[in-house]
Amino acid sequence: MEELSSLAIGDCEDAELAYTMRDLPRAGHTFPGSEMPMMDREPDGSTHTHTPGTATFTRPLSRSLEPELVRRGQLSSMGSLDSPMSPSRPKSPWGRFDPYDSAEDQDKEYVGFATLPNQVHRKSVKKGFAFTLMVAGESGLGKSTLVNSLFLTDLYKDRKMLNAEERISQTVEITKHTVSIEEKGVKLRLTIVDTPGFGDAVNNTECWRTVEDYIDQQFEQYFRDESGLNRKNIQDNRVHCCLYFISPFGHGLRPMDVEFMKTLHDKVNIVPVLAKADSLTPEEVRKIKMKICEEIERFDINIYQFPECDSDEDEEIKLQHQELKGSIPFAVIGSNVQVESQGRRFRARQYPWGVVEVENPEHSDFLKLRNMLVRTHMQDLKDVTRETHYENYRAQCIQNMTHMVVRERKRSLCNRGRDSASDLPVPLVPVDSDTERLIWEKDEELRRMQEVLERIQEQMRHGH
Amino acid sequence: MSEIVPPEVRPKPVVPAKPSHVAPPSGAPFLPSPQGTGGEGRGSALLGYIGIDTIIEQMRKKTMKTGFDFNIMVVGQSGLGKSTLVNTLFKSQVSRRSASWSRDDKIPKTVEIKSVSHVIEEGGVKMKLTVVDTPGFGDQINNDNCWAPISKYINEQYEKFLKEEVNIARKKRIPDTRVHCCLYFISPTGHSLRQLDIEFMKNLSRVVNIIPVIAKSDTLTLEEKIEFKQKVRKELEVCGIECYPQKEFDEDTEDKSDNDKIRETMPFAVVGSDKEYQVNGKRVLGRKTAWGVVEVENPNHCEFSLLRDFMIRSHLQDLKEVTHNIQYETYRARRLNDNGGLHPINSSGHDTQESNL
C-alpha cells in the first residue's frame, strides 16, 4: 500500500480537516455518497501500517448510508470500559480513545469518522510541532533565565555578557536559538527569538524598529513560500508569541513599553510579563498589575486575548479561565539554579531570608504562564498568528501590490499602450491572464466598431 | 513633620579618635597647671594638663547650638525606591513623596529638580536636611543629556555660594545649599552598569560626591550580589569614575585603610522600607513577602546599615568638607579664571536669611 503522502500545505498541525480528508488513502471500497473512503478490512484485527493512525473496521457491503451519529459526549468520555468485542468488529487501534468504544455503540452502525481527531492527533504527534517564541525587554530582566525555566533547557549556557563600554555602540540585534525537545513521544521544535540590546542605550528612539522588521520579514518569507510552486515543506518561522518583559521597578508601564506594544500589537500576539516578581511583596504585585492593566486599556493596546470559554464547559474550566485572564500580566520568576530542600530538588532562588520556589503558585504566576503557553494555548496562539496577524499582513501586501498594478495600468492606458499586461511588474499574486486577454480583445473589438461607425458617419455626411 | 524627635539613647558614633591618649574632656574650664602658664615645655612635652583638648567639647557645644545643614540629592530611574530609602535613612518622612503618598505621579517629560527641607533633631543636635529629588531622570525613551538639568542645578548652588562669599557685606553664616552628597541608584539587573549610569557618573563625579547604591537589592541572591558588585566596581575603574570616598583625598594612612574597606564594599546593596514587622519577637523595619521577611537593618540581608553608618555616623562631616574644600574650590577657581575675577555684588538682603536652626 502506498505511503500516505504528507499534507499538501504547510505544517501538519496547521492542517484543517479538509486536507486530511483529501489525502486519506484511496484504497478500499468507497461507497457512493459516503464522506469517507472505506478502509481496508482486516478481519483478524491487525492493521496495515500503510495508513498510520487510521482506524479499520468493517461494514456490511449492502447497507445504505447511515446518517452520522457523532456524539460529542462520546468523544469526551474516553476511557470508557473495554467493550465486549462483537465478532465482526476487529480490535480498534485507538483503545481507550476510540469514540465508539462504549457498549451501546456496538449495535449501531456508524460511518466512523469520529475518529478523525485521533487521526489528526496521531499524525501531528509523529510529525512534531514547531513553535516560535520571541522575548523582548530591557536587558537584566531575566528573560533568558525565564526561557530556561519554562522549557527546562539551558539555551544560554555560554553567553558572553558585554560590558558597558562595548555596549555603547551596540544596536538592537535579533538572535535565534532553536532546540528540539521531546516529551512522551511528542516532538517540539522550539525557536526562541531574542532581542539583545533592546532598550539599553541612552537614546532608545525606535529601537523596536529592528524587531518590527524581523516580524515582517518572517511574514514576507512565508507569503512568498505560500505563493510559490513547491509548497510541500514550508518552514514556518513566523513569530507565534511575543513575551514582553515589564520591569517591576517602575510604577507601571514606561513610555518605551507603551511604544513597543503599540507598534507591534497588530503584528504578533503580545503577552505582557512582569519580570523578577520576587522583588515585590504580594500587595505591591497586586497594585502594579492593576496599574498596568489600566494603562494597557488607556493606551488601547491589543494584547493577546484568551479565547472565550464555550458556555457548556465545566465550571472548573471556566473558573480557571477567569483566573488566567485576571492574572495578566503574569508575575514571573525564573531560576537556573536548583535547590534541594526536604528531599526534593526544585528550581528556586535562595535568599538569606527565605527560598523562592519558581514553580510554587503562591510565589509567582510562573506555572500559569507555562500552562498557558504550552499546555492550553499553544495551538490558539498559532491559530491567531495564522488567521489574524498573517492574514492582515497578507491583505496589506496584496492591497499594496494591487495599487501598484492599478497605477501602472492607468499610466500605460494614458500612453495609449495597449499591451498593458506585459508592462506591469510581475506581481507575486498570479494575475488572471485570461481575463486580461479577454478585456483586451473586447477593447479591440470596440475600437474596430467605433472605426466602422465613424466611416459610416463620414459616408452619410458625404452622401448628403 | 515632627521636628523634635525625642533623643533616643544611641551609642556615640565611633569617631576615629586621633589623639587616643588624651583624657576625656572634663567640661570644666581647664585646670591651671601647677607651674603656671607660659613658657613651659616647647614641642609636645607637656608637664601638666592644660586642657587644650576641651576645644572638642567647645566645638561640640557650639555645633549643638547652631546645628548644621546637610543636602542630599537622589538620582535614579523612577520606581527604584529613592524616596523610601531616604525616609528610612533619616527615620522620618523627609522625602518629597511623604506629603501625598500617591504613587500615581506621571513621569515628567523632562528632568525636574524638586527639593524638600526638614529640620530633624537628635541628641540635642539639630540638622537641616534638604532632599533634592530628580523625577524624570532616565525614564524617557530618549535620555540624551538628561543629566544636564542636574549638573546645572549643582553648579547653580555653587554659584550662589560663591556670590555670597564674594560679597562685601558677607553674612555670618552663608546658607549652604550646595549638594553634599549624591546618591545614585543603580538598577539591580545583575548584569552590569547601564550606559546611562556610566554617562551620568562620568559627567558628574568631578562635580559632586557620588555614592552609588544598588537599589531594591532584595531581588539579588548572595552570589549574584557579589558578582554584580565586582562587575560594577570594575566598570567604574575602567571608565575612570571616582566615587566618594575618592582615593586622592585620603589624608593619611588611617584614612586610607578605613576608606579602602569602604571602597571594597561599595556599591552598597540596599533595601528600604518604612513598614515594621514582628520577627523573632522584635519589631524590625522590613518587607514581608510570601517566603520571608527582608530585614532592612540586618547586615546579612542587605547593606543598609553599612550605608547609614558610613554616610551619617562617620563620614557626614567629611562629605561636607570635601564638598567645600575640593568640589567648591574647583568650581570657584574655574569661575574666577574664566571671568578674570568677579565683581562683588551688593546684596541688599534679597533673600531671607534662613538661619541654620
Over residues A376-403, the pLDDT tens digits come to 888 888 888 888 888 888 888 888 888 8
Checking if the pLDDT of B200 tops 80, the result is yes
Task: Please report the pLDDT score of residue A51 as a whole number.
Answer: 40
Q: Which residue has the higher pLDDT, B103 or B227?
A: B227
Contacting residues of A for B141, CB less than 8 Å apart: 203-205, 255-256, 259
What does the block give as the cell for B89? Answer: 535613612
Interface test with B, best of A139, A279, A288 (most B CBs within 10 A): A279
Average of per-residue pLDDT across A83-100:
59
Q: Do A255 and B104 touch (CB under 8 A)?
A: no
Smallest Cβ–Cβ distance between B190 and the set A140, A204, A249 belongs to: A140
Distance CA B317, CA B59 (A): 13
Q: Do A250 and B189 touch (CB under 8 A)?
A: no
Q: Which residue has the higher pLDDT, A24 or B328?
A: B328
Task: Please report the pLDDT score of residue B212 as a whole number.
Answer: 92
Q: Do A354 and B188 touch (CB under 8 A)?
A: no
Stretch 11-50 of chain B: residues touching chain A, C-beta under 8 Å: none
Average of per-residue pLDDT across A82-87:
45
Distance CA B11, CA B63 (A): 19
Checking if the pLDDT of B98 tops 60, the result is no
* Residue B301 to chain A, least CA–CA distance (Å): 6
Contacting residues of A for B299, CB less than 8 Å apart: none
Smallest Cβ–Cβ distance between A279 and the set B191, B218, B234 belongs to: B218
Checking if the pLDDT of B184 tops 90, the result is yes
Distance CA A280, CA B291 (A): 11
Task: Enter the DSSP assignment of A142.
Answer: S
Checking if the pLDDT of B13 tops 60, the result is no
Q: If DSSP codes are grouped into helix, strand and coil, which group holds residue A267?
A: coil
CB contact A256 to B (< 8 Å): yes
Checking if the pLDDT of B96 tops 70, the result is no
Stretch 64-93 of chain B: residues touching chain A, C-beta under 8 Å: 77-81
pLDDT tens-digit series, residues A329-348: 888 888 888 887 778 888 88
Question: Closest Cα partner for B75 from B87, B64, B86?
Answer: B86
CB contact A353 to B (< 8 Å): yes
What does the block give as the cell for B290? Answer: 510570601
Average of per-residue pLDDT across B303-330:
87
Confidence of residue A426 (pLDDT cuts 50, 70, 90): very low
Residue B269 CB-density burial (10 A; 0-12 exposed, 13-18 middle, 19+ buried)? buried
Distance CA A409, CA A412 (A): 5
Stretch 287-306 of chain A: residues touching chain B, C-beta under 8 Å: 287
Task: Please report the pLDDT score of residue B185 as a whole number.
Answer: 92
* Cα angle for residues A447, A452, A454 (degrees, 5° grid): 95
pLDDT tens-digit series, residues A171-182: 778 888 888 888
Report chain B's terminal Cα–Cα distance, integer Å. 15
Average of per-residue pLDDT across B228-257:
85
A306: left (phi over 0), alpha (psi -120 to 50) or beta: beta
- DSSP string across A352-381: TTEEEETT-TTT-SHHHHHIIIIIISHHHH
Burial pattern A239-249, b for ≥16 Cβ within 10 A else e, equals bbbbbbbbbbb
Confidence of residue B73 (pLDDT cuts 50, 70, 90): very high
Chain A residue whose CA is closest to B109: A255
Q: What is the helix (H) or strand (E) element at residue B28, kind and residue range? A: none
Q: Do A352 and B300 touch (CB under 8 A)?
A: yes
Q: What is the helix (H) or strand (E) element at residue A276, kind and residue range? A: none
Task: Please report the pLDDT score of residue A78 as a whole number.
Answer: 37
Distance CA B7, CA B10 (A): 8
Distance CA A344, CA A430 (A): 61
Task: Please report the pLDDT score of residue B75 as a whole number.
Answer: 92
Q: Do A351 and B287 touch (CB under 8 A)?
A: no
Interface test with A, best of B219, B300, B304 (most A CBs within 10 A): B219
* Residue B296 to chain A, least CA–CA distance (Å): 11
Average of per-residue pLDDT across B3-15:
44
Checking if the pLDDT of B257 tops 90, the result is no
Q: Do B238 and A165 touch (CB under 8 A)?
A: yes
Chain A residue whose CA is closest to B188: A140
Task: Please report the pLDDT score of residue A85 as a whole number.
Answer: 45
**Maximum average pLDDT range among A101-105, A186-190, B19-23:** A186-190
Task: Please report the pLDDT score of residue B288 as a whole number.
Answer: 86
Checking if the pLDDT of B18 tops 80, the result is no
Percent with pLDDT over 90 in chain A = 3
Contacting residues of B for A168, CB less than 8 Å apart: 195
With contact defined as beta carbons under 8 Å apart, do B284 and B276 qualify?
yes
Checking if the pLDDT of B354 tops 60, the result is no
Average of per-residue pLDDT across A247-269:
88
CB contact B238 to A (< 8 Å): yes
Give the position of cell 575612570: B240
Q: Which residue has the higher pLDDT, A411 or A6?
A: A411
Checking if the pLDDT of B50 tops 60, the result is yes
Task: Please report the pLDDT score of residue A28 as a whole number.
Answer: 36
Distance CA A39, CA A59 (A): 10
Stretch 98-127 of chain B: residues touching chain A, C-beta under 8 Å: 103-105, 107
Contacts for B176 with CB less than 8 Å, ≥ 6 apart: B69, B71, B161, B320
The number of C-beta contacts closer than 8 angstroms across A and B is 120
As for the ipTM of the complex, it is 0.72
* Residue B170 to chain A, least CA–CA distance (Å): 44
Find the length of chain A: 464
Confidence of residue B211 (pLDDT cuts 50, 70, 90): very high
- DSSP string across B29-51: PPPPPTT-SSS---TT--SS---
CB contact A263 to B (< 8 Å): no
Q: Which residue has the higher pLDDT, A107 or B267?
A: B267
Phi, psi of A311 (to 5 degrees): -70, -15
With contact defined as beta carbons under 8 Å apart, do A364 and A370 qualify?
no
Checking if the pLDDT of A47 tops 50, the result is no
Chain B residue whose CA is closest to A281: B289
Phi, psi of B53 (to 5 degrees): -65, -20
CB contact A43 to B (< 8 Å): no
Q: Which residue has the higher pLDDT, B206 or B97?
A: B206
* Cα angle for residues A42, A47, A48 (degrees, 5° grid): 100
Burial pattern A88-101, b for ≥16 Cβ within 10 A else e, equals ebbbbbbeebbbbb
Task: Please report the pLDDT score of residue A37 as a whole number.
Answer: 37
Residue B124 CB coordination number (10 Å): 12
CB contact B240 to A (< 8 Å): no
Distance CA A208, CA A225 (A): 26
pLDDT tens-digit series, residues A92-134: 666 666 676 666 666 677 777 777 888 877 777 777 788 899 9
> Which range (A17-26, A262-271, B1-10) has the least confidence?
A17-26
Residue A34 CB coordination number (10 Å): 15
Q: If DSSP codes are grouped into helix, strand and coil, which group holds residue A175?
A: strand
Distance CA A30, CA A261 (A): 53
With contact defined as beta carbons under 8 Å apart, do B297 and B287 qualify?
no
What does the block give as the cell for B147? Answer: 543629566
The torsion of the CA quartet A432, A435, A440, A444, rounded to 10 degrees, works out to: 170
Confidence of residue B337 (pLDDT cuts 50, 70, 90): confident
Checking if the pLDDT of A354 tops 80, the result is yes
| pTM > 0.80: yes or no | no
Q: Which residue has the higher pLDDT, B109 or A146?
A: A146
Question: Closest Cα partner for B214 from B104, B82, B344, B316?
Answer: B82
